[in-house]
Structure 1
Amino acid sequence: MDDLQALLPHLPILAAFAEMGQVTGAAEILAVPQPQVSRSLARAEEITGLTLKQRHGREVRPTKDAIRLGEAAKATLTNLDNTLNDLRSEVRGSVRLAFQHSLGEHVVPQAISAFVPEHPQVDFTLTQGSRSECLEALEAGKVDAAFIAIIPDSMRLESQILMQEQLVLAVPNSHPLAAKSTIHSHDIADQDLIATRHGLGLRRTTDALLRRWGISPRVTFEGQEISTVLGLVAAGLGITIVPSRAYRHEVTLIPFAHKDAVRDLVLVTSAERTLTTAAARFVEVARTLFT
């Protein structure tokens, strides 16, 4: 082990000497004086006890031992160089995300799952909240990106629509509307509606949809999470409008006949701050995944 440690400083010269086949060529490729190459080879001979150079006329050439040792030295140096480059190129750091409650079970996990296998050194900080809370955190620099519904009207933010999510009516399995294949707005005008609370993105989308349709069902219950709202529906306490997904609740999901029963899912970043490498790479992955 002591001999190996003593030999380490001479590996570049051994590799160059074996590759170029002469002292002059090794000196040129390494951009060092010829005497330095000669001294290094002589020291390597002392350490290893091997004959590493031989004269061919006026030139000094590597012996077979020198070629084998030089090739091993080159392989070692190449492996170290590749490893160092890989480590330097790995994306590290953290990504801070904010997202609306209704996107925490679907969109955000998908995006993170697509990102993590290629970038295992990156950590995530997740903040769940209302649409306005997500945007406030983004504008304050507390998060790098936000997943929300509906494009925000702000020059300080950059937005990209990732996808459109279909909205459907959820009713108890025993409800008279459960037998319908599609729902029209007049079908729910007089129904008891269960909704997410004011300030949440899904509530804002639902209210806008009902205004466009010219109806105002009576809101009987409000909840913060979709799972809570669907639990109330399953208990027979009313109906609700939710994104079209697979839910564990015993409810019937019915598509609307109206083409505008959709909402835009948006990825938002700051227009005033440059993203870190990790955050920029995550945003790129998310955009590619959904668009």
Structure 2
Amino acid sequence: MDLQVLRWFQAVAGGATVTGAAATAHVTQPALSRALARLEREVGTPLFTRNGRTLRLTPAGRLFADHLDQALESYDRGLRAVVELVDPDCGVVPLAFLHTLGTWLVPPLVSTFRAEHPRMRFELRQHGEATILRELLDGSVDFILTSGDPGHAQVSWQRLLIEPLWLAVPADHRLGQRKRVRLAEVADEPFIALREGYGLRTLTEQLCHQAGFAPRVTFEGEEIDTLRALVAAGLGVALLPPPYLEPSTSDIHPAPATHLRVTDVECARDLGLAWLAERPLPAASTAFRAHVLRSAPAITPPAYRSGRR
């Protein structure tokens, strides 16, 4: 079987259209379709069914895709290992992280590592917690930077930092001129939160429970920046990490949300590094893990250095 055709199959099995996969591979659509047909003949059974212009995996196709993902992951790891054996300073580190960590934690970790290893490269991905865990489990990345221990039997996790969570309220809110607040003071307010299944959503509910109430969630989202914007628009309050970049205002956008320290419950989340416990890591990733575990605890978010509340 042609390795390139297997990668084309993997792309289409992962949701890409034949047209999109062909464009990415720089081949014509008919050529890619013929290649997939040859692959089906080699396997001995149809791998796709057609629904209009969409190809869907047959049961045999799903089974083949699962095994193929593992095989290609092993092949790619082998290539990386050989490259790093020949030239230990010329490796690739695949890393996924939460969106909010891309503004302050990831840049210094990567830049200080590359100061020592200038020929190392990174493959960086930003997603929510569920997606980055899935990418770790399927071998797309070697590490994830996340909040809290994923609690998965295959995953090792180590705490790096404890990040506070502040109560975000609209600028013109009745508490907007305060610096500190008891979480119980907003028990009757509408809450804005991440969707169920996100770690911060679970933590928000737990902290509100500690403060003596169940939050009345009226808006749900998938990104913290979206939640912060909804708070600024006056649609509710939210427990969020501090804003690490100065917000901008204009005549179009509402005034930025005000962030208050919570005093009646300990509002914070653990940030840590996770990797697959049983998967051997290439040299580059092994070196990066050691660097992160050593240097991350000393990193201070910009919001604290600037003295903003």
Q: CA deviation at 1:255?
A: 0.4
- The counterpart of 2:156, out of the listed 155, 158, 161, is 158
Q: 1:220 to 1:179 in 2, by over 3 A?
A: same
- The counterpart of 2:206, out of the listed 196, 208, 220, is 208
Unaligned stretches of 5+ residues in structure 2: 1-84, 248-255, 298-309
- Within a 5 Å distance, the mapping from 1:262-281 to structure 2 comes to 262-281=268-287
- The counterpart of 1:252, out of the listed 258, 270, 274, is 258
Q: CA deviation at 1:88?
A: 6.9
Give 3-state SS (helix, strand or coil) of 1:282's partner.
helix
- The counterpart of 1:284, out of the listed 290, 293, 297, is 290
Give 3-state SS (helix, strand or coil) of 2:176's partner.
helix
- Structure-2 separation of matches of 1:130 and 1:246: 18
TM-score by length of 2: 0.61
- Structure-1 separation of matches of 2:93 and 2:205: 33
Unaligned stretches of 5+ residues in structure 1: 1-86
- The counterpart of 2:113, out of the listed 94, 107, 115, is 115
- Within a 5 Å distance, the mapping from 1:130-209 to structure 2 comes to 130-209=128-207
Q: 1:56-84: per-residue Cα shift (whole Å, max 9, x none)?
A: xxxxxxxxxxxxxxxxxxxxxxxxxxxxx
Tell me which residue corresponds to 1:65.
Answer: none
Q: CA deviation at 1:187?
A: 0.7
- The counterpart of 1:242, out of the listed 240, 243, 249, is 240
- Structure-1 separation of matches of 2:89 and 2:193: 41
Tell me which residue corresponds to 2:231.
Answer: 233
Give 3-state SS (helix, strand or coil) of 1:178's partner.
coil
Q: CA deviation at 1:89?
A: 6.7
- Structure-2 separation of matches of 1:236 and 1:287: 40
Give 3-state SS (helix, strand or coil) of 1:179's partner.
coil
Give the number of the structure whose alpha-carbon radius of gyration is greater. 1
- Structure-2 separation of matches of 1:253 and 1:150: 22
AA at the equivalent of 2:242 = S
CA RMSD of aligned residues (A): 2.1
Q: CA deviation at 1:232?
A: 1.5
Aligned length: 205
Q: 1:64-122: per-residue Cα shift (whole Å, max 9, x none)?
A: xxxxxxxxxxxxxxxxxxxxxxx977521111112123323222223112212222212
Native 8 Å contact 1:158 1:269 kept in 2: yes
- Structure-1 separation of matches of 2:238 and 2:279: 39
TM-score by length of 1: 0.65
Native 8 Å contact 1:130 1:199 kept in 2: no
- Structure-2 separation of matches of 1:166 and 1:117: 29
Q: 1:259 to 1:211 in 2, by over 3 A?
A: closer
- Structure-1 separation of matches of 2:130 and 2:231: 26
Q: Which moved more, 1:170-179 or 1:100-109?
A: 100-109
Q: CA deviation at 1:226?
A: 1.8
Q: 1:284 to 1:258 in 2, by over 3 A?
A: farther
Give 3-state SS (helix, strand or coil) of 1:176's partner.
coil
Q: CA deviation at 1:145?
A: 0.6
Q: CA deviation at 1:200?
A: 2.7
Q: 1:225-258: per-residue Cα shift (whole Å, max 9, x none)?
A: 2221111111222111111243433221110003
Native 8 Å contact 1:99 1:127 kept in 2: yes
